Chain A
Amino acid sequence: MEMQTVKFYQTGTFTVGNRLLAEDERSVQANMHRTNSLNSGHRACQGCGEALGARYAIDAAMRSTSGELIAVNATGCLEVFSTPYPETSWKIPWIHSLFGNAAAVASGVAAAMRVRGRSAVRVVAQGGDGGTTDIGFGCLSGMFERNDDVLYICYDNEAYMNTGVQRSSATPPAARTATTPALGREPGNVFGTGKNVPLIAMAHSIPYVATASVANLRDLERKVAKAMTISGARYVHIHVPCPLGWGSLPADTIKVARLAVESGLFPLFEAEHGEITGRTPIRRKVPVTDYLRLQKRFAHLFNVADEPRIARIQAIADRNIAKFGLLETPAHG
């Protein structure tokens, strides 16, 4: 009888854990003794994707470095909800300096570790999309170009959330924000040219760039772990839904993130030294409307059945799918 490769529902697949796998093959988040780097008691909104993404990423980095990790945080929701005096949710050495300088501060920490002979201690910088793609972009690019030994993680919730949901350069077309209201003939954000920071990071030829999503924990952890095996500048861009800013249900945070991936709007890929080396294929392709409909920030597209602009968004997804080959199955399973 022909044998099938044993690929069953609980193993090597999509759930957080798997009681059938050896302990060290399970995800970091499945571990009873995971760091919980970002601890309970933080003040993120219910269902905050950024809080989740941050714990996923930092716990993974903590495992990879055996706890020898220092984090630098840009101003933003993550910083504000985690460290309001007199309480901090962080369990790791952590510093917040400014909105736009996380990458540079991290470079400084890394330099200090190097010069003080503590190269085993690794450095993570993290910020929101605003702190990364906009105001912190100069420092980020500088850190990349110098190839400083820093992993920069961007938690992309597609707007300036901490200040009340204003548009950033990562805000998608048509999305309603406080500064791109759903008013007038072209409600919501403009259809600009976009600013794909992962691709810009690749243009720096840094050793490692990856996109990840809170909807795919194992993929995310693998990428962070991979990043931690590499020295030099690394960039991981994580898609983290924000129920408050997107007008989605708190319970739907992961679902929304998943649909972003499955529609092709948020492609998952990785690159080394400027070349794409991997993509996570779409498992069950969905139309962008499945994703858009769950979010009030896109409600105006449906209130008036704005087919042309929905089609333009679909075209963006289709372009991503073609560009990154998201429907091809990977060479090895």
Chain B
Amino acid sequence: MDKPFAITLDVGSSLANKTGSWRTSRPVYVDRLPPCNHACPAGENIQSWLYHAEAGDYEAAWRVLTLDNPLPAIMGRVCYHPCETACNRGKLDESVGINSVERFLGDEALKLAWRFEPPVRDSGKRVLVVGAGPSGLAAAYHLRLLGHAVTIIEAGPLAGGMMRFGIPKYRLPRDVLDAEIQRILDLGIELQLNRKVSNILDTMHSGAFDAAFLAVGAHIAKRAYIPAGSTARMLDAISVLRGMEGEDKPLLGRRVVVYGGGNTALDVARTAKRLGASDAIIVYRRTREKMPAHDFEVEEALQEGVLIKWLSTIRNMADEGTLTVEKMRLDDQGFPQPTGEFETLETDSLVLALGQDVDLSLLDDVPDLVIEHGVVQVASNMMTGHAGIFAGGDMVPSERTVTVAVGHGKKAARHIDAWLRGGRYAPPPAHKLAAFESLNAWYYADAPKTTQPVLDLARRASTFDEVVRGLDESTALFEARRCLSCGNCFECDNCYGVCPDNAVIKLGPGKRFEFNYDYCKGCGICVAECPCGAIEMIPETI
């Protein structure tokens, strides 16, 4: 075309005008730490596996998940999911049902028999793991993936630790437990059962181990002094729960009283119900608000007919099974104080659920250890005072949950690996937290949480069938898609769309975006309109 001078122009020629020079500050893409990830004791990259789950790529999701935690089907059942408490979506409608999606993924993996990829190279180092509970299994798994030869020595007859001997079947079916353990062992980990390590240094020496990770758990029931007649039937919670795994179920009678306020107390009371008790009564010193047990467990127990006597302590137990209970009141600090008011309670057995201690006898001859309050002190790298001996789980100072234990296992494995290589493991620098305020919540459609179906009460009362059922695919998908992807680009294309200057380059699926600073004028709309707070404005330097 013979274009008239100046008035008619060639299209797109404005590219010659680099408007980027107008900018005083520039947007940059960032990844922020989602609060769920931040809160996860096992250090799971939750947002990241949900990202794959959202797309229906469950295997990818599972693989990302198991980079941190090899026990998703278990975790999806027993974890108290602090992630959900932290979840930003909770400020919008309800937090994402992370735990139920995790369980779905775990179950899906078992159903479809997904396996872990074994390590490509062996390091030539040998690591001993003492205890096949969650912490020991997690450590073994990570150590093996890092190429080390791992042997687990377990005192009990079966692997699983507290997952098997502390958590009732109706919360964690044993086929699930067995399958997830087996999948770890399938990586080529040796498991020796029914062997108690009595002297760790000897065992390491004789087995030519380069390092050890101790995770023996806390299995010794704490006792309280309760005067009792000689024929009074008094048991501890751990033996009751452990007894459930054997051939002979514990005999608790028709009226059972459980003393304590933790999850274990509830587990025992609910177990008693299932064993045929007509009355299962929990006696607890304080109020429901003060109870350490999780609310949902209290709720489920109450539904199942468990009774709870609040603000009560047991003073003594007579031969024929009569308990004397004193009413308590909370003082200004919230501590229970005796009132001098008494009542009696008839029972066939009293189960004490007052917590557990650790059996530290295997460490008796190890020098340089620090033991305080009945647990082993470890440095930030999970190593005890004795070089090469690491410890985790319930035997070190921390909250005693399966998830924390799994987290210890992972953390210890990384440090052991570094230590074996003569270095120190430096975790990648933590991103800034993706606070709710950094999100633009407008872009998230309303989508209240799905609730997991619950087994009907009649069956719960009489069987050990799993109480809480899993999500089916569509509900799991729905739940995964409720994730806000806090602080991490989920390729919603907002920045790409809202830029008035087309200064955002879309790199294609999975590749995210780039800024074209030649044209970006620094208006900041992309930052304001990024739903998940994954863009930041920084001043331009000249």
Contacts and interface: CB of A to CB of B under 8 A. Distances in A.
Interface of A: 1, 3-4, 6-20, 26-27, 29-30, 32, 36, 38-44, 46-49, 51-52, 55, 82-83, 85-92, 94, 217, 243, 249-255, 258
A83 B7 CA distance: 9
Contact of B498 (A10, A13, A52): A52
Interface stretch (B314-322, B365-373, B407-415, B437-445): B437-445
Contacts of B527: 251
9 contacts: A9-B447, A9-B482, A9-B483, A14-B442, A16-B492, A52-B499, A87-B13, A94-B11, A249-B524
Interface stretch (B267-275, B288-296, B393-401, B515-523): B515-523
B55 A19 contact: yes
Contacts of B537: 251
Interface string B276-313: 00000000000000000000000000000000000000
A35 to B, nearest CB: 10
A41 B519 contact: yes
B523 A251 contact: yes
A51 B524 CA distance: 15
A50 B474 CA distance: 41
A10 B17 contact: no
Contacts of B102: none
Contact of B17 (A11, A49, A87, A92): A87
Contact of A43 (B19, B448, B496): B19
B494 A16 contact: yes
Interface in B422-461: 442-445, 447-448, 450, 453
Given A86-B13, A251-B528, A6 B500 contact: no
Contacts of B11: 88, 90-92, 94
Given A17-B493, A46-B523, A88 B10 contact: yes
A87 B9 contact: yes
Contacts of B444: 9, 13-14
A250 B523 contact: yes
B487 to A, nearest CB: 15
A47 B528 CA distance: 11
B497 to A, nearest CB: 3
Interface stretch (B41-49, B125-133, B380-388, B503-511): B503-511
A8 B6 contact: no
Nearest to B51: A19
A16 B443 CA distance: 9
A47 B525 contact: yes
Interface string B17-56: 1110010000000000000000000000000000000110
B17 A8 contact: no
A53 B497 CA distance: 11
Interface of B: 6-7, 9-19, 22, 54-55, 442-445, 447-448, 450, 453, 474-475, 477-478, 481-484, 490-494, 496-503, 506, 508-509, 516, 518-519, 521-525, 527-529, 531, 537
Closest 7 CB pairs of A and B: A17-B493, A16-B497, A41-B14, A251-B524, A8-B481, A47-B523, A29-B497
A48 B442 CA distance: 21
B491 A17 contact: yes
B98 to A, nearest CB: 15
A86 B3 CA distance: 12
Contacts of B15: 39-41
B305 to A, nearest CB: 24
Contacts of B19: 40-43
Contacts of A20: 54-55, 481
A7 B522 CA distance: 34
Nearest to A42: B14
A39 B14 contact: yes
Among A47, A250, A255, residue most surrounded by chain B Cβ atoms (within 10 Å): A47
B522 A85 contact: no
A88 B9 contact: yes
Contacts of A15: 443, 492-494, 531
Contacts of B17: 41-43, 87
A45 to B, nearest CB: 8
B494 A36 contact: no
A94 B498 CA distance: 23
A250 B499 CA distance: 11
Contact of A9 (B22, B55, B481, B506): B481
Nearest to B527: A251
A189 B497 CA distance: 34
Given A41-B19, A46-B522, 17 more contacts: A10-B490, A15-B443, A15-B493, A16-B496, A16-B498, A17-B497, A29-B493, A29-B497, A30-B496, A32-B506, A40-B19, A42-B14, A55-B502, A88-B13, A89-B14, A90-B12, A254-B529
Contacts of B491: 17, 19
Nearest to A262: B442
B54 A10 contact: yes
Nearest to B524: A251
A235 B260 CA distance: 73
A170 B506 CA distance: 36
Given A40-B503, A47-B500, A87-B9, A6 B478 contact: yes
